[in-house]
Amino acid sequence: MEERFPKKDPAAAYREFKLADAAGNTLRKPREDWEGARARVRTDKEWAAWLAARRADVDKWIARCRDRVEWVAGWHHDFVSPRDGSFIIWTSEAPGELGTQPLRSTSDPEVALTSKIKAAWVFRFRTNHGEKMAEAARLFRVTQEPQYAEWAASQLDLYADNFEGWPLQKRGSGIWESVARLFHQPLDEAVNLVRHVEAARLIWDTVTPGRRDAWRDKLFLPQTVLLEASFQSIHNIACWQRSAAGQVALLYGDADLWYRAMETPFGIRWQLAEGVTSDYFWYEQSLLYNNYVVQALLPLFLYAGLVHRGEEIKREMQIVHNLLVAPLALRFPNGDLPTPADGQRRKTPNRKLFDDACRVFPTPIGQAGAGRSCTWSSLVDPVLSSTETEPSLPPVRSRRLESSRMALICKDGWQVYFHFGQLLQSHAQSEALHYEAWHGNTDLTHDVGTVGYGSPLHKGYYALGLAHNVPLVNGEGQAGWDHGELLEWSPEQGRVSARQPSYRPGTQARRTLTAFGDRLTDETSLELSRDTPKSLLGLTLHVQGRVELPGGFVPCPDFARNRPLGFDRWNDPVCRPEGADTLTLCVHYPDHVYRLTLRADAPFRAFHASTPDAPPGSRESLYLETADRRRAITFVTIWEPAKP
């Protein structure tokens, strides 16, 4: 198989973040020791208390919660406040029914119930219900109390008997067609199917062959048919769909279904060959998708290992091991990750994922956590910790991640992440040439990510160029998406440079970032072609500190007038009139003050406002704009610590 992104030796990549056995192997064969688990909960007080809490949670759910055939699930991203896009706090009480409390989010005290929000609540309910089914099956295996197995089996009966009764939810067309029944979209159907398969596997010997066959014929196989009908493409969702189908194949020993899940053009082998870059980042770019694809495939790898079929997919497991650890190489000093594409800001490592993944993907982080925490994974498959202290991570270093359209410069205390292009439209935002920067332990500027996709703020603000550190043309950022071109990457000189030849129609953009000594210098240029109408050229810069404005700034109440979508989200704008080509500001951070110098090769106006951060927060932002009629403009930004 010829890979789009060559990966010559995945076992050797990012080895500094992995653990190898005495033979040098970086993969581990999982096991499942229920007899040992029963002994641990009998003899260890901590395990006994943990199990009691799990039982109480499942017992409460079984007693109080029932799924309803008339409930139609919606989209997770619609469970947000219409006011600010913050996610609503979920409870198991069906909203809108007698005696239930009003909905609220962390920043919106009362959210009106709509049909979309109710359907999104159903998604969360059915998701939790599926997890409780798997949890009940695990409780049966460790307690050997039959009521847990029978409840899980009865719920599988419920879904099998009524599966065809749920409406077929169809959206999109072609390779993007979305088809599901229990849920709004096939992604959610696949994620839930993984839970149902685990429940069936763990209670397999407690039910009759006829009952197992009914689950296969009326629930599991019809779901795999639905999952095969959509996302015949290289996509993170397709990984979940093929993984779920593969687990059904393992459960029933279905060789044909296994072949379709693994070997077909959009099976798992192709997903990883075409969807994972040579740097081992998922090609849709949001770093959260590294974890998401690991979460999709980990249950399959665990299952395959338990039934002695892991050797068949060893290379795929090595690739996914790298997906797990690669984000560690981009972490900022506080553990935050950069935020390319339309994900939400997160920290690394995801400790629960590392702990669970340690059963097949050994890492110092996972081994330490798995040896100290109580989880189902560590109960049935103990991974002894090799250290009593938190393992230290190798320092972050400069990296050229050209196949991922990213670069990292670490020099003289500066850490600068540069996102210079995209690989495809999926999840792309208008953010090519955006950068994030830290100096020491100070977060100078970053990308806040986005909100729930159901919020109008997602496309109406957070996905726009205005929300990023990028050049703008007539207030607009990048049009569409583009690979971009890396021009220079020099870790010795602390410099990286790239250009977007088609940033907007008739416009090319170029950015050079240089971290050297006490300075971080950004040179950003926009150039219009000869036949492009002359335009307002500008630059946005978002800071995580408090800007001390010099004199000359005046209120600008008409700031958003005649400007594109998103400018109305800039609150309390003030403006320094055009007439000078340099502006020097002090930006105050908790421990340091930085001098920020802004220059252009033409006079410019400078705007300052309070803008949306991750909800419900806000931050301060600057927008420079020149009406000069020349066709090429260069903006220069200099960050440097202010001298005492």
pLDDT surpassing 70 at residue 440: yes
Cβ–Cβ under 8 Å, residues 557 and 596: no
pLDDT exceeding 70 applies to what percent of the chain?
98
For 427, the token pair is 């999840």
SS3 375: coil
Residue 369: per-residue pLDDT: 83
Q: Classify residue 99 by its DSSP letter.
A: T
pLDDT surpassing 70 at residue 410: yes
> pLDDT grade, residue 386 (50/70/90)?
low
In a domain, 118, yes or no: no
Average pLDDT rounded to a whole number, residues 54-81: 95
356 lies in the same domain as 436: no
- The whole-chain average pLDDT of the chain stands at 94
SS3 415: strand
Average pLDDT rounded to a whole number, residues 17-30: 94
356 lies in the same domain as 412: no
370 lies in the same domain as 409: no
Average pLDDT rounded to a whole number, residues 309-320: 97
Residue 306: per-residue pLDDT: 97
Which amino acid is present at 266?
F
352 lies in the same domain as 410: no
> pLDDT grade, residue 98 (50/70/90)?
confident
Q: Other C-beta atoms within 10 Å of 238: how many? A: 26
Residue 454: per-residue pLDDT: 85
> What is the span of the domain harbouring residue 304?
15-72+144-380
Tell me which residue has tokens 């992104």.
Answer: 5
User: Backbone phi, then psi, for 252, in 5-degree steps?
Assistant: -105, 5
> pLDDT grade, residue 643 (50/70/90)?
confident
Residues 6+ apart with CB under 8 A from 410: 396, 397, 398, 416, 491, 515
In a domain, 266, yes or no: yes
Cβ–Cβ under 8 Å, residues 343 and 281: no
Residue 629: per-residue pLDDT: 82
Q: Other C-beta atoms within 10 Å of 376: how many? A: 17
In a domain, 374, yes or no: yes
196 lies in the same domain as 262: yes
Which pLDDT tens digit goes with each residue over 441-476?
999 999 999 998 888 999 999 999 999 999 999 999
Q: Other C-beta atoms within 10 Å of 520: how many? A: 28
Residue 461: per-residue pLDDT: 97
Please report, for the domain that includes residue 471, its CATH number: 2.70.98.70
Q: Could you give the CA distance from residue 626 to residue 243 in angstroms, rounded to a whole number?
A: 52
CA 333 from chain centre, in angstroms, equals: 19
Q: Other C-beta atoms within 10 Å of 384: how many? A: 8
372 lies in the same domain as 406: no
pLDDT surpassing 80 at residue 14: yes
487 lies in the same domain as 571: yes
pLDDT surpassing 60 at residue 387: no
Residue 370: per-residue pLDDT: 79
Q: Could you give the CA distance from residue 440 to residue 633 in angstroms, rounded to a whole number?
A: 31
In a domain, 36, yes or no: yes
Domains of the chain: total: 2
In a domain, 111, yes or no: no
CA nearest neighbour of 186 among 221, 234, 238 = 238
H/E run at residue 117:
helix 115-143
Q: Could you give the CA distance from residue 312 to residue 381 in angstroms, rounded to a whole number?
A: 22
In a domain, 82, yes or no: no
In a domain, 567, yes or no: yes
Residue 222: per-residue pLDDT: 97
558 lies in the same domain as 600: yes
Which pLDDT tens digit goes with each residue over 159-192?
999 999 999 999 887 767 789 999 999 999 999 9
Cβ–Cβ under 8 Å, residues 253 and 200: no
- Count helices and strands (H / E) in the chain: 16, 19
pLDDT exceeding 90 applies to what percent of the chain?
86
Of 196 and 111, the structure prediction assigns the larger pLDDT to: 196
375 lies in the same domain as 408: no
166 lies in the same domain as 257: yes
423 lies in the same domain as 545: yes
pLDDT surpassing 70 at residue 644: no
Q: Could you give the CA distance from residue 263 to residue 258 in angstroms, rounded to a whole number?
A: 8
Cβ–Cβ under 8 Å, residues 630 and 602: yes
Of 325, 349, 380, which closes a domain? 380
319 lies in the same domain as 406: no
For the chain, percent helix, then strand, then coil, each to nearest 5?
Answer: 35, 25, 40
Which amino acid is present at 621?
S
Q: Could you give the CA distance from residue 440 to residue 412 in angstroms, rounded to a whole number?
A: 9
Residue 176: per-residue pLDDT: 72
In a domain, 444, yes or no: yes
Which pLDDT tens digit goes with each residue over 265-305?
999 999 999 999 999 999 999 999 999 999 999 999 999 99
Residue 558: per-residue pLDDT: 95
Residue 289: per-residue pLDDT: 95
Please report, for the domain that includes residue 189, its CATH number: 1.50.10.100
